């Protein structure tokens, strides 16, 4: 949770006197009395790195950023420590007060497109990180700050109303030498007050102007017990991620308990008539894992670029979420609700012009819950090579019990166990 002093609501008038990345809201070009919104966030990000909305000018600007390398710190000790309140931001999404904005976020079923919310969270996390690393003596930041991992997004409520204003708040809660953890909270104005909707934790990494090597970021100095608690939670999150990576099923064998689960699934699918290792029968109210897939293709156009001339991570998250949701909807036979987003890892950047292949797989089910894994890879049609760029994990809940998902091969069994691990983390959290 954010420190109580950070959660004090500032009046719209007071917010206009501040500027985003150095102690305040956005500066010029805004209507007096209006709180900053997502358009302001993205405009400010372009200012920070010198990006342009024009494609040809943008390419030139990225080339010119190479000269900023000499402004990078040689050591983290050379950078002044920052506090959590230095990076605190409050941004509004005026779906209720500005109806013309609503259509971009609206679904056919009169709810809010969660994929759009993912895009907004990604942009806000980047700006929060730049707020932490801001140097008032520099006109442009030499850092290229990108999303490394979406550690967790927990839904506090399933319904997001399309005609009520939304507020995002967030700040840096933990810092390594070249990485930053940003926590964000989203709430919606209903019945005269803001009610919590979700909590999100993103991990960002800082790199040089060419986005080729790691760069140092300002250390974080907690102030008081609330800050210290948040910082220690960040340390625990880092340790947990290292532990999970070490225990990955791609590296080590399943535990004894997990092996028993796989064997039990195998025994339950044996054909009692033949009693053969090769003869498998699908149990009642079950679906083979190979029949619970949904795939998609995206051509990555310049329109979807980020400020560093790569494909915007929020766009990738939106497309993966929408495919995963469609798969869960098809599998469960009704519109599912999102429970959590877990462990989205950005392994490689996606270049403009890429062919992006998305593959969603229902990999675990329990009661009304559906665990979906979405794998994205870039395909080069000339070399015929595939390279994984992202892996996404989503937990959905249906309004009815869903079929059991049954693996048929060893590889599918590992997907099943991995999905079970992610589901258990969500439930325990």
By the 8 A CB rule, do 320 and 311 touch? no
Q: Do 162 and 203 belong together in one domain?
A: yes
Query: Domain of 144?
Result: 4-245
Q: Whole-angstrom Cα distance, residue 407 to residue 149?
A: 28
Domain boundary (197, 223, 245) is at 245
pLDDT for the residue numbered 370: 97
- What CATH number does the domain containing 158 carry? 3.10.129.10
User: Residues 179, 218: one domain?
Assistant: yes
Does 229 share its domain with 370? no
Pair (306, 416) in one structural domain: yes
- Beta carbons within 8 Å of 126's beta carbon, 6+ residues apart: 45, 145, 146, 147, 204
pLDDT value of residue 11:
31
DSSP bridge pairs for 270: 280
**pLDDT above 90 covers what percent of the chain?**
63
pLDDT of residue 58: 66
| Cβ within 8 Å of residue 167, ≥6 positions away | 90, 91, 92, 93, 186, 187, 188, 189, 194
* Structural domain ending residue among the three candidates 217, 245, 273: 245
pLDDT per residue over 307-321, tens digit each? 787 888 899 999 999
Q: Are residues 285 and 309 in the same domain?
A: yes
Digit-coded pLDDT (tens) for 373-424: 999 999 888 888 899 999 999 999 999 999 999 999 999 999 999 999 999 9
Whether residue 174 is found in the same domain as residue 315: no
Position 131 pLDDT exceeds 90? yes
Beta bridge partners of 180: 175, 204
C-alpha dist (Å) from residue 322 to 260, 315, 328, 427:
34, 11, 10, 22
Mean pLDDT of 176-182: 96
> Across residues 147-168, what is the average pLDDT?
92
Q: Are residues 275 and 153 in the same domain?
A: no
Q: pLDDT-based confidence at 9, cuts 50/70/90?
A: very low
Q: Average pLDDT for residues 323-349, to the nearest whole number? A: 92
pLDDT band at 19 (very low <50, low <70, confident <90, very high): very low
386 near 357, Cβ under 8 Å? yes
Please report the pLDDT score of residue 385 as a whole number.
87
Which of 245, 272, 289 is where one domain is finished? 245
pTM of the model: 0.86
pLDDT at 375: 95
Question: To which H or E segment does residue 91 belong?
Answer: strand 89-93
How are strands ordered across the β-sheet holding 144-155?
89-93, 166-175, 179-190, 193-207, 144-155, 337-346, 385-397, 369-380, 355-366, 293-299
């Amino acid at each position: 949770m954010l420190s109580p002093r950070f959660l004090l609501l500032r009046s719209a008038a007071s917010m206009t006197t501040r500027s985003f990345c150095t102690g305040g809201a956005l500066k010029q070009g805004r209507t007096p009395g209006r709180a900053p919104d997502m358009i302001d966030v993205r405009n400010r990000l372009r200012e920070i790195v010198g990006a342009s909305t024009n494609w040809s000018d943008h390419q030139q600007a990225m080339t010119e950023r190479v000269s900023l390398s000499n402004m990078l710190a040689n050591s983290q000790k050379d950078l002044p420590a920052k506090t959590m309140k230095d990076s605190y931001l409050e941004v509004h999404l005026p779906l209720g007060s500005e109806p013309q904005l609503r259509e971009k976020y609206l679904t056919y079923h009169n709810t809010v497109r969660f994929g759009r919310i993912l895009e907004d969270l990604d942009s806000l996390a980047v700006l929060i990180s730049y707020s932490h690393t801001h140097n008032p003596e520099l006109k442009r930041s030499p850092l290229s700050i990108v999303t490394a991992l979406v550690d967790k997004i927990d839904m506090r409520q399933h319904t997001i109303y399309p005609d009520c204003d939304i507020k995002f708040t967030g700040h840096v809660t933990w810092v390594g030498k070249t990485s930053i953890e940003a926590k964000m909270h989203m709430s919606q104005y209903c019945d005269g007050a803001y009610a919590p909707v979700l909590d999100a934790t993103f991990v960002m990494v800082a790199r040089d102007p060419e986005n080729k090597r790691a760069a140092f970021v300002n250390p974080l100095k907690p102030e008081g017990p609330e800050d210290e608690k948040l910082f220690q939670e960040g340390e625990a999150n880092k340790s947990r991620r290292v532990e999970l990576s070490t225990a990955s099923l791609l590296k080590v064998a399943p535990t004894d308990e997990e092996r028993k689960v796989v064997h039990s699934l195998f025994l339950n699918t044996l054909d009692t008539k033949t009693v053969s290792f090769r003869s498998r029968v699908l149990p009642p109210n079950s679906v083979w894992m190979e029949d619970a897939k949904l795939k998609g293709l995206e051509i990555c156009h310049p329109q979807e670029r980020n400020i560093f001339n790569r494909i915007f991570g929020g766009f990738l998250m939106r497309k993966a979420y929408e495919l995963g949701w469609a798969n869960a909807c098809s599998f469960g036979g009704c519109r599912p609700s999102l429970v959590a987003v877990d462990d989205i890892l950005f392994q490689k950047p996606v270049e403009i012009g890429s062919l992006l292949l998305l593959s969603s797989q229902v990999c675990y089910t329990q009661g009304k819950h559906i665990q979906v894994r979405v794998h994205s890879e870039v395909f080069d049609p000339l070399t015929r090579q595939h390279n994984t760029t992202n892996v996404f994990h989503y937990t959905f809940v249906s309004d009815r019990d869903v079929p059991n998902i049954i693996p048929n091969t060893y590889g599918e069994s590992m997907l099943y166990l991995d999905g079970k691990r992610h589901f258990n983390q969500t439930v325990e959290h």
